[in-house]
């Protein structure tokens, strides 16, 4: 199972695999969330953070 994080970074949003590998950078949160869902396989976890870095939601892709 891979874990993908959608988190703020400077003035953008990043999609990162757990462990630090950056998948993509986006100006807006919604495209970053969409990319995380595209990258994830069934059983992978997607963790979406708020602007302050706290966790907004954590879901498993089915």
Q: What pLDDT score was predicted for residue 7?
A: 97
Each residue of 8-29: b (16+ CB within 10 Å) or e? eeeeebbbbbeeeeebbebeeb
Q: What pLDDT score was predicted for residue 16?
A: 97
Q: What pLDDT score was predicted for residue 44?
A: 97
pLDDT in tens, 9-46: 999 999 999 987 999 999 999 999 999 999 999 999 99
């Amino acid at each position: 199972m891979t874990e993908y994080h959608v988190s703020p970074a400077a003035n953008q949003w990043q999609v990162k695999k757990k462990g630090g590998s950056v998948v993509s950078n986006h100006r807006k949160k919604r495209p970053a969330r969409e990319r995380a869902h595209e990258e994830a396989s069934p059983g992978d976890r997607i963790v979406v953070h708020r602007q302050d870095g706290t966790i907004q939601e954590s879901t498993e892709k089915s």
